[in-house]
Amino acid sequence: MYRILIIEDDEGIAHAIQRQAAHWGLEAQCVQNFRRIPEEFTAFQPHLVLLDISLPYFNGYHWCAELRKLSQVPIIFISSASDNMNIVMAMDMGADDFIAKPFDASVLIAKIRAMLRRTYDFGTGLSVIEHRGVLLNTDNNTVTYQGQQLSLTKNEYHILLALMQNRGRIVSRETLMKALWETDSFVDDNTLTVNVNRLRKKLDAAGLSGFIVTKFGQGYQVE
């Protein structure tokens, strides 16, 4: 199990991240003593650190530099101070990524998992997502149903991936667009509608009518 150290003094945000991480099989621990962050880091030995800028006693830049003396584990800043100067400073201090608050929890977890994959080359245990007989292989980006492989565009695949990763939960249109932006596909609201409709038609043709359900005013859901 991969371990995430959360250095965030807003307990509501920290515990929300901790719960979401646990949902995806990640062990997350919130820092308790903001004077002794290196000691908690050493004791927990995390694979990745989430770090806020505004913290008690010393700011996140200070702790980023201190942690870099101990380890090269990925560090992702999470902060509402998301102007260019703060982002550049975070990267200069040794951070690997920067996520602006407020953020969507599913997007944050997607970024964490992507960072862990790139750093530790994991994924074999999570390479296939199954739901209602649909097999989504995240190693080779293929979709198979009853022995037939469906031909999907990159956008269609990532939409289906986001929905299946959150099966049973409603995924907002904004979350889907952000997921596509993470793959360098900068879609707008109309383009998302076109992609979802095309994906539905392909699923319908394969015998999966109603696989994606529209929740009006909320988003989409794979039930």
In 3D, which of 174, 2, 188, 196 has the Cα closest to residue 104? 174
Task: Note the pLDDT tens digit of each residue in 155-206.
Answer: 999 999 999 888 888 999 999 998 888 777 778 888 899 999 999 999 999 9
Task: Note the pLDDT tens digit of each residue in 43-54.
Answer: 888 889 999 988
| Threshold 0.85, pTM exceeds | no
The predicted structure's pLDDT at residue 163: 92
The predicted structure's pLDDT at residue 198: 93
The predicted structure's pLDDT at residue 122: 44
Exposed/middle/buried for residue 94 (C-beta within 10 Å: 0-12, 13-18, 19+):
middle
Task: Note the pLDDT tens digit of each residue in 101-160.
Answer: 888 888 888 889 888 887 775 444 445 677 888 888 776 777 888 778 888 888 999 999
Q: What is the DSSP string of the chain?
A: --EEEEE-S-HHHHHHHHHHHHHTT-EEEE-S-TT-HHHHHHHH--SEEEE-SS-SSS-HHHHHHHHHTT----EEEEES--SHHHHHHHHHTT-SEEEESS--HHHHHHHHHHHHHHHH---GGGSEEEETTEEEETTTTEEEETTEEE---HHHHHHHHHHHHTTTS-B-HHHHHHHHHTTT----HHHHHHHHHHHHHHHHHTT-TTSEEEETTTEEEE-
Mention every residue, 6+ apart, whose C-beta is less than 8 A from residue 110. 162, 165, 179, 182
